[in-house]
Amino acid sequence: MTDETADHLPARTDAAASAAAAAAAGGSGGSGENADGDTRRSIGDQSAQVDQAERSAFSRASDALQRHREPSEIWGDEREAVNIALHWAAARATVASDPKTTARSAAELHEAAGETITAGGIGAQRAMDLFDEVLLPATRASEDPMNLAYIPAAPTRAAVAFDTVVSAANVFGGMWENGAGAIFAENQVLRWLSDLLGWPADSAGVFVSGGTTGNLSALATARDHALRTRGRRPEGGWALACASTAHSSIASAARLLDMDLVTVPIDDRGHLTGDVLESTLAADPRICAVVASGGTTNAGIVDDIASVVEVAHRHDVWVHVDGAYGGAALAAPSARGRFAGIDQADSFIVDPHKWLFAPYDCCALLYRDARPAAAAHSQHAAYLDSIDRGESNPADLAAHLSRRTRGLPLWYSLATHGTDAYRDAVERCLASARTVARAIATTEHLELLLEPELSVVVFRRPGWTPEAYRRWSQRLAKDGTILCVPTAFRGEIALRLAFVNPSTDPQAVIDVLRTTMLEADEH
């Protein structure tokens, strides 16, 4: 790598990322005398203000990366391609999001980008330029502080940066024998989550791609466990029970697993409770699993997990808690009480890419007792059976075999910042939701539809037609003011705000709601 290349480094970036970029691009840059000794010097010279702690991080990273990779006979010398991509990633990790970026039609994108896949290749610089100038601007900034639609995302910079490290390390995370060190670190994160759940020391889990896959894998385990313990498939096939407020991925799992979905009525405040579940289970012995929401997506409602568990277990029915969005609130003392009874649930998911400040894609799937999961999911083949299964293998606990160690960005961020910072970040989102809800309740032209249980605020603008909601939402999305899209709540059109970004300023949200909704009436 040349000095010119080093000049592209962001003026003051994370030293370890710089080291990784330098080492990957130069293939070396280590602490000893070697062909790329200049690399280390040039970065060191440029970073006069980098403090001692960062310098030692830099040299440790470099020490581990001294073995030079020779140019490949097929791919040639890829250092330029590596350099371009990693420098872009390092710079991108620290820039502010642009709330105005938005989807474009495939035709427009084709017009702007042309054919990018060609026999000879278009070259790294051209591909990167297209990504930066055309493709990425046609995506939505999930982490923008004023993006409060759906469930957005707000990964820490540490987690984002480490995602690049995970790719560079390229660990096969399916089996302990291949990925031991990385899996060990992931397991420490899963242990932290298990402790939040109040689960025993031998509970175990795995990181999968998202809540949909996590729910599917947990429910496949529940169904398999029922078959093994009950001895045969019931007349009419298996069924699973949940409230109508359960996430759409539960219905999808039921379809894929060929299970009937039995909808259990909710109480006045929107919770699935043991009382009503009791009669549902008594009436339908085909039900082998019940799903409780640990924070519904639409309104952030946490089902009455304690009574659900008590009733389900009396009927020998597995309890899965879908905390894809809301499970993060277990880390927050002010919300933990809502999850009473979760210590007795059988399986649980939480998506760190939603509210635990990790980048896509990441779902933690946990089992209080992982043996039924291993029985349901372990794959066997002549070439696999030589694998030592003495340690728990992530591949054995979900519907997958090859896997990226996608829990590591969360591990790095948690290890860097500590669990107290996570508690505080989740609490801040909860506080923002409560502040905005209070302001809505006291604003004449707005109506709060539900006291938030977690960090979703549902409200309406009395008198507005669906078209008025749509116009307001689209206008503010387009000018980058706020992303807040209409939903339906208790049969009425409504608006919802999901607070998962600790950088969101609640006062800025209140100001937007108080001004723009009145202005909209004047248009």
Distances (CA, A) of 413 to 186, 214, 385, 416, 501: 12, 22, 35, 5, 15
Say which DSSP state 294 is in.
B
Choose, by CB under 6 A, the member of 174, 179, 211, 274 that binds ligand PLP.
Answer: 211
HSE toward the beta carbon, residue 290, CA cutoff 13 A? 32
Helical axes 248-256 vs 211-230, angle rounded to 10°: 50
Considering beta carbons, is residue 83 or 297 the nearer one to ligand PLP? 297
Say which DSSP state 76 is in.
B
Q: Which secondary-structure segment (H or E) carries 274?
A: helix 274-283
Considering only residues 336 to 375 of the shown chain, the ones binding ligand PLP according to CB under 6 A are 351, 363
Q: Determine the longest span between alpha carbons in the chain, in angstroms.
A: 76
First to last CA, the chain: 58
**What dihedral do alpha carbons 470, 473, 474, 479 form, nearest 10°?**
160
Which residue in the shown chain puts its C-beta closest to ligand PLP? 211
Stretch that binds ligand PLP, among 210-218, 308-316, 401-409, 413-421 (CB under 6 A): 210-218
Considering only residues 309 to 328 of the shown chain, the ones binding ligand PLP according to CB under 6 A are 322, 324-325
Stretch that binds ligand PLP, among 9-17, 206-214, 366-374, 432-440 (CB under 6 A): 206-214
Choose, by CB under 6 A, the member of 249, 280, 413, 473 that binds ligand PLP.
Answer: 249
Considering beta carbons, is residue 249 or 405 the nearer one to ligand PLP? 249
Could you give the string, one character per residue 139-178, with x where binding to ligand PLP holds by CB under 6 A and - elsewhere? ------------x---------------------------
Q: Is 55 helix (H, G, I), strand (E, B) or coil?
A: helix
Considering beta carbons, is residue 363 or 513 the nearer one to ligand PLP? 363
Considering beta carbons, is residue 212 or 501 the nearer one to ligand PLP? 212
Stretch that binds ligand PLP, among 208-216, 261-269, 400-408, 488-496 (CB under 6 A): 208-216
Q: Does 329 bind ligand PLP (CB under 6 A)?
A: no
Q: How far is the CB of 215 from ligand PLP (least distance, A)?
A: 6
- Contact between 39 and 45 under an 8 Å Cβ cutoff? The reply is no
The number of residues that bind ligand PLP (CB under 6 A) is 13
Phi, psi of 401 (to 5 degrees): -130, -70
- Whole-angstrom distance, CA of residue 143 vs CA of residue 94: 12
Q: Give contact residues for ligand PLP (rule: CB under 6 A).
A: 151, 210-212, 215, 247, 249, 297, 322, 324-325, 351, 363
